[in-house]
A and B are shown apart, each in its own frame.
Chain A
Amino acid sequence: MTAAAPLGKDLLGLEPLSGEQISLILDTAEPFKEISERAIKKVPTLRGSTVVNLFFENSTRTRISFEFAEKRLSADTVNVSSSGSSVSKGETLVDTARNLEAMRIDMVVIRHGSSGAAKFLAGRIESNVINAGDGMHEHPTQGLLDLLTLRDHFKRIEGLRVCICGDVLHSRVARSNIWGLRKLGAEVAVCGPRSLMPNAIDEMGVTVFSRIEEAIEWADALNILRLQLERMTAGYIPSLREYNRVFGVTRERLERAPRDVLILHPGPMNRGVEIDSDVADGPHSVILPQVTNGVAVRMAVLYLLSGGRPELAESAKAGKGAP
Chain B
Amino acid sequence: MTRPVLLTGGRVLDPSQQMDGVADVLLVDGAVAAIGRDIGRPDDAQTVDCAGLIVSPGFIDVHCHLREPGRADVETIASGARAAAAGGFTAVCAMPNTDPVIDNPAAVGFVVRQGLRAGAARVYPIGAISVGQRGEALAEFGEMVDAGAIGVSDDGKPVVSAQLMRTALEYARTFQIPVIDHCEEPTLAAGGAMNEGIVSARLGLKGIPDEAEEIMAIRDILLARLTRGHVHLAHMSTKGSVELIRWGKDRGINVTAEVCPHHLSLTEEAVEGYDTNAKMNPPLRTAEDVETLRQAVRDGTIDLVATDHAPHHYDEKEREFQNAPNGIVGLETALSVVVDSLVVPGHIDFGTLVDRMSCSPARLFGLPGGTLRVGSPADVTVFDPARRWTVDPDLFLSKGRNTPYAGMTLTGRTICTVVAGQVVYTLN
CB atoms of B320 and A120 under 8 A apart: yes
Q: Are A135 and B322 in contact (CB under 8 A)?
A: yes
CB contact between B197 and one of A15, A93, A136, A200 (< 8 Å): that residue: A200
Nearest Cβ on chain A to B278's Cβ, whole angstroms:
12
- Partner of B204 from the list A92, A115, A120, A199 (CB cut-off 8 Å) is A115
Of the candidates A15, A115, A201, A204, the one having the most CB atoms from chain B within 10 angstroms of its own CB is A115
Q: Are B321 and A114 in contact (CB under 8 A)?
A: yes
Chain B contact patch, size range = 20 to 34
Which residue in chain B gives the minimum CB-CB distance to A137? B204
- Contact, CB under 8 Å: A119 / B274: yes
The smallest beta-carbon distance between B191 and chain A, in angstroms, is: 10
Partner of A203 from B201, B205, B274, B323 at Cβ < 8 Å: B201
- Of the four ranges (under 10, 10 to 19, 20 to 34, 35 or more), the interface on chain A belongs to 20 to 34
The reply to whether A115 and B321 form a contact with Cβ atoms under 8 Å apart is: yes
Scan residues 166-224 of chain B and give those whose CB is less than 8 A from a CB of chain A: 196-198, 200-207, 209
Give bound CA distance, A119 to B321, whole Å: 11
Within 8 A of B (CB), among A49-97: 92-94
A198 close to chain B: CB less than 8 A: yes
Interchain CB contact under 8 A, B319 and A92: yes
CA distance A134 to B319 in the complex (A): 14
Interface residues of A in 292-309 (CB under 8 A from B): none
Known: A115-B274, A116-B274, A199-B197. A204 touches B202 (CB 8 A): yes
A107 to B66, CA, bound (A): 42
Q: Are B204 and A136 in contact (CB under 8 A)?
A: yes
* CA A115 to CA B318, docked complex, whole Å: 14
Contact A112 B320 (CB under 8 A): yes
Bound complex: CA A116 to CA B321 (Å):
7
Q: What's the Cα separation between A317 and B205 when bound, in Å?
A: 40
Is chain A's binding surface mostly helix, strand, loop or mixed? mixed
Q: Do residues B201 and A137 form an inter-chain contact, with CB atoms below 8 A?
A: no
Per the 8 Å Cβ criterion, residues 268-326 of B in contact with A are: 273-274, 315, 318-323
In the complex, are the beta carbons of A93 and B319 less than 8 A apart? Answer: yes
A188 is an interface residue with CB less than 8 A from chain B: no
Q: How far is the CA of A1 from the CA of B258 in the complex (A)?
A: 50
Q: Say yes or no for A117: interface residue by CB 8 A criterion.
A: yes
Residues 162-184 of A at the B interface (beta carbon under 8 Å):
172, 175
27 A-B pairs with CB atoms under 8 Å apart are A15-B202, A92-B319, A94-B315, A94-B318, A114-B320, A114-B321, A115-B204, A115-B205, A115-B274, A115-B320, A116-B322, A119-B273, A134-B204, A135-B204, A135-B205, A135-B322, A137-B204, A138-B204, A172-B204, A175-B204, A198-B200, A198-B201, A198-B207, A199-B196, A199-B201, A201-B201, A203-B201
In the complex, what residues of A have CB within 8 A of residue B320's CB?
Answer: 93, 112, 114-117, 120
Closest partner residue, chain B, to A119 (CB atom): B274
Distance from A285 Cβ to chain B, minimum over Cβ atoms (Å): 28
- Asked if B322 contacts A94 (CB within 8 A), the reply is no
A114 and B322 within 8 A (CB): yes
Contact A203 B198 (CB under 8 A): yes
Given A94-B319, A116-B205, A120-B320, 8 more pairs with CB closer than 8 A:
A112-B320, A114-B322, A115-B321, A116-B274, A120-B274, A137-B204, A199-B197, A199-B207
